[in-house]
Amino acid sequence: MTPATPILKDVVLVGAGHAHVAVLRRFAMRPMPGVRLTVITREVDTPYSGMLPGFLAGQYGFDDMHIDVRRLARFAGARLYHAEATGLDPVQKLVFCRNRPAVPYDLLSLDIGSTPDLAAIPGAADHAIPVKPIGQLIARCASLAARIADRTQPARIGVIGAGAAGVELAFALRHRFSRSQATIALFGAETDLLPGFSASARRRIARLLAARNIDLHVGHRVSRIAPGMAHFDGAPAATLNEILIATQATSPSWLAAAGLAVDARGFLRVSDRLQSISHRDIFAAGDIATMEGHPRAKSGVMAVRAGPPLAENLRRMVTGRKLRPFIPQRTWLSLISTGDRYAVGARGDLSFEGAWVWWLKDRIDRKFMRMYSDLPDMPATRPVVAPGVADAAGQAALTEAAMRCGGCAAKIGSSVLHRVLARLQPVASDIELGLAARDDAAAFTVPAGKVLVQSADQFRAFIDDPFVFGQVAAHHALGDLYAMGAQPHSALALATVPFAPMAKMENDLFLMLDGASSVLREAGATLIGGHSAEGAELMLGLSVNGLADPGRLLRKSGMRPGDRLILTKPVGAGVIFAADMRHRARARWVQVALAQMTQPGAAASAVLMGAGATACTDVTGFGLAGHLLEMAEASDVDCTLDLAAVPVLDGAEELIGNGLESSLHTENLAAASRVGGTDACRAQARFSLLFDPQTAGGLLASLPPDGAESCLSALRAAGYGQAAIIGTMVARGHTPERIRFI
């Protein structure tokens, strides 16, 4: 068997701004085998700032202006970590993230944007909406629109900041609320609006603001913001129902706290190679960076232009070649939308306006977005390390990779394993021999009067984040225990990690086991041992143990005619991740699916047990229909199913309707002969989703009819918002079909 190319260098991209999406695309078009890209981003849909005014004005939809980072990362062969970076250790080369372990790097690049400096304006954080991060602005503007629609009196909206961002925001809001009686006011601290623009451009914008009844107040430096009020230095306060902030930006404090060289406003100081002047293995571009000797205004244009040279210098740095300088242009074309398919253009002293300028802006923006939405099919790369990637240690790893053994010799080394186990935090329990011992097996005492419930599951990684994969695998394995009403007690792990240099294997193993352990700890269980080995791909299996009262075990065979059927989670995960592998699933669909898959089943099990469930199972690989058929046959009953009531994950119907399906779907369809339904019913996408295999799916339970509605209410109150009553059990009929539709 030909070994896979080991990972020799980790390049970590923090943020998915305009420069980093260009890096991803360029690495996709020209891969570097042996180099692993990892993207850490708070938002999996990256907004393109150039189209934000048009989106707020109602001219673009969500997908028109957002780059699907998950799809782009898949295209580039990069790992995507949906997380927020909160700190950095440049000595240990670690990026700290919220609610997950630190991420190690060999080479780091930062493109995390900037935000208005709310701390400089008392009250702004509590009573105003910042224009950045754009993702949060979009969500808050939707709430703003709802509040304005509910008002009985005209709303007065204030935009603080009369630069390009504030001007475009004011125009967009004016257009969006043109049918309401809302008034828009724009406030600037300088004596002129649009600082840095030519006098002719400022005159055009001032005239258009007046023509659209937007009140302009220059020389108004905001001093504090109170509920419904903005106060200014040397000017009267303004009564405002809604306030948006587009003032001078700032950076996160953790850059300076990490010891990186930053400027007076906290932005990372970089050379014309886009390299930190204090740490040669850290690069930065976009708003977060300030280039030494070439100061430029923060703008999306500069971030876009920095993408290609950043990608090239990352390549050169990882292969030990000389970096290339990048001198950003001094002037560039600025196109300012007025919200109504009209725009003003400016470059240097030249300015112009008209509908044709908006058309030009729209054409440029759409062309940019097509680069990241119309991704070409790429040929498979050969498993050869790119020239220059392997240093001396890397060459040793390559030689070792070509001679890896099988059998017990494929076990991960004891030193790596012991370090990983020492970093895990199992809960205190009644384990007699567990991770702390080095015996051949684990041991624990089963309490008197309890029955031991065991199950096992194993599958290869279907997402590229080992930590989240470990969480999903643990939830999936625990589902069998919850379906039987057992309390999780302990687990054994079977972990497989692709060969790489020791430190990288250790980190991947730790991330995966820590993800699983975090779920076990929350469930009150502990990881007590297992086995680890090298393999072609990341895999995790868990053998889970639970304890239950013998007389209270839930089985598949307890269904009775008249029982109502409840499903606690939506279906559709199989087709979503099948589409994700083919770059066809939207990032937000994947994230919603992962949120469902990582939702614990303990509360659902407790609610169902308390409601007197008569039978239960968890919906996994055989799909909803397959598992329901198992229950019906074990109980010798039939089921009438309300197809319209079956909850479905966002995007699943669209994907399966377009012919996408999981590899197990065809095998599951063999059970369709025992499911009734007309041809019209079978043609529905929702019918096909009955056979979609699920990972960490919901619980499927039958309950006495008099308690079903109250049980459903309790499930929804416990956080299972899409739980639904989907059918009724009936007496066994005389036809081959065990499932029929209402």
Beta bridge partners of 548: 451
Q: In the 8-state DSSP scheme, what is residue 161?
A: -
Distance CA 95, CA 221 (A): 37
Neighbours of 370 (CB within 10 A): 10
Res 408: pLDDT: 45
Q: Which pLDDT band holds residue 131 (cuts at 50, 70, 90)?
A: confident
DSSP string, 97-128: ETTEEEEE-SEEEE----EE-GGGSTTHHHH-
Residue type, 525: A
Cβ atoms 189, 215 nearer than 8 A = no
Please state, for a pLDDT cut of 90, what percent of the chain lies above it.
Answer: 68
Q: Is 483 exposed, middle or buried (0-12, 13-18, 19+ CB in 10 A)?
A: buried
Cis status, amide bond into 309, omega within 30 of 0: no
- Kindly report, residue by residue over 51-85, the tens digit of the pLDDT: 999 999 989 999 999 999 999 999 999 999 999 99
Rounded alpha-carbon distances, angstroms, from residue 379 to 29, 30, 192, 288: 10, 11, 54, 35
Beta bridge partners of 546: 453, 488
Residue type, 334: S
Neighbours of 527 (CB within 10 A): 26
Between 177 and 280, whose confidence is greater?
Answer: 280
Give which of 87, 90, 69 is closest to 78, Cα–Cα: 69
pLDDT at residue 448 is higher than 90: no
Cβ atoms 583, 502 nearer than 8 A = no
141, 408, 616, 711: the catalytic one is 408
Distance CA 459, CA 573 (A): 15
Contacts of 428 (CB under 8 A, 6+ apart): none
pLDDT at residue 410 is higher than 70: no
Cβ atoms 637, 561 nearer than 8 A = yes
Backbone angles phi, psi at 725, to 5 degrees: -85, 120
Q: Which pLDDT band holds residue 409 (cuts at 50, 70, 90)?
A: very low
Res 426: pLDDT: 61
Segments making up each domain of the chain, as ranges: 9-114+251-330+358-373, 118-250, 404-553, 555-742
Q: Beta strand pairing status for 699-703 and 129-130?
A: unpaired
Res 414: pLDDT: 52
- Kindly report, residue by residue over 88-124, the tens digit of the pLDDT: 999 999 999 999 999 999 999 999 988 878 888 899 8
pLDDT at residue 568 is higher than 50: yes
Backbone angles phi, psi at 224, to 5 degrees: -165, 160
Res 353: pLDDT: 96
Fold of 9-114+251-330+358-373: FAD/NAD(P)-binding domain (3.50.50)
Instruction: Summarize the confidence of residues 529-538 as an average pLDDT.
Output: 85
Q: Which pLDDT band holds residue 461 (cuts at 50, 70, 90)?
A: very high
Sign of the torsion angle spanned by Cα atoms 286, 287, 289, 290:
positive
Helices 18-29 and 69-76, packing angle to 10 deg: 30
Beta bridge partners of 233: 221
Q: Is 408 a catalytic residue?
A: yes
Neighbours of 607 (CB within 10 A): 25
- Kindly report, residue by residue over 702-719, the tens digit of the pLDDT: 999 999 999 999 999 999
pLDDT at residue 396 is higher than 60: no
Give which of 233, 224, 214 is closest to 158, Cα–Cα: 214
The whole-chain average pLDDT of the chain stands at 89
C-beta pairs of 380-386 under 8 Å, 24+ apart in sequence: 381/31, 381/33, 382/33, 383/2, 383/3, 383/4, 383/5, 383/33, 384/5, 384/33, 385/5, 385/8, 385/33, 385/34, 386/31, 386/32, 386/33, 386/34, 386/35, 386/319
Tokens of 393: 């240690």
* CATH 3.60.15.10 is held by the domain 118-250: no
Distance CA 699, CA 566 (A): 8
Distance CA 215, CA 204 (A): 15
Distance CA 51, CA 679 (A): 45
Distance CA 405, CA 317 (A): 33
Between 142 and 2, whose confidence is greater?
Answer: 142
Give which of 135, 105, 133 is closest to 283, Cα–Cα: 105
Rounded alpha-carbon distances, angstroms, from residue 90 to 94, 104, 279, 511: 7, 10, 8, 20
- Kindly report, residue by residue over 368-395, the tens digit of the pLDDT: 999 999 888 766 555 556 666 656 555 5
**Exposed e or buried b per residue across 259-285, where buried means at least 16 C-beta atoms within 10 angstroms of its C-beta:** ebbbeeebbbbbbbbbbbbebeebbbb
Q: Please report which residue ranges of 402-524 form alpha helices under DSSP H.
A: 414-423, 466-483, 502-522
Q: In the 8-state DSSP scheme, what is residue 734?
A: S
Distance CA 694, CA 391 (A): 43
- Kindly report, residue by residue over 149-202, the tens digit of the pLDDT: 888 788 899 999 999 999 999 999 999 887 777 899 999 999 889 988 999 999
Q: Is 504 exposed, middle or buried (0-12, 13-18, 19+ CB in 10 A)?
A: buried
Top-level class of domain 404-553: alpha beta
* CATH 1.10.10.10 is held by the domain 555-742: no
- Kindly report, residue by residue over 224-240, the tens digit of the pLDDT: 999 999 999 989 999 99
Q: How many residues does the chain have?
A: 742
Tokens of 164: 């390009």
Cβ atoms 235, 256 nearer than 8 A = no
Q: Which pLDDT band holds residue 1 (cuts at 50, 70, 90)?
A: very low
Q: Please report which residue ranges of 582-725 form alpha helices under DSSP H.
A: 587-597, 602-610, 623-635, 652-657, 665-668, 679-682, 685-689, 708-717
Q: In the 8-state DSSP scheme, what is residue 554?
A: -
Q: Which pLDDT band holds residue 634 (cuts at 50, 70, 90)?
A: very high
Q: In the 8-state DSSP scheme, what is residue 3?
A: P
CA angle 465, 468, 472 (to 5 degrees): 130
Q: Which pLDDT band holds residue 406 (cuts at 50, 70, 90)?
A: very low
Q: Beta strand pairing status for 526-535 and 615-618?
A: unpaired
Same fold, 9-114+251-330+358-373 and 118-250: yes
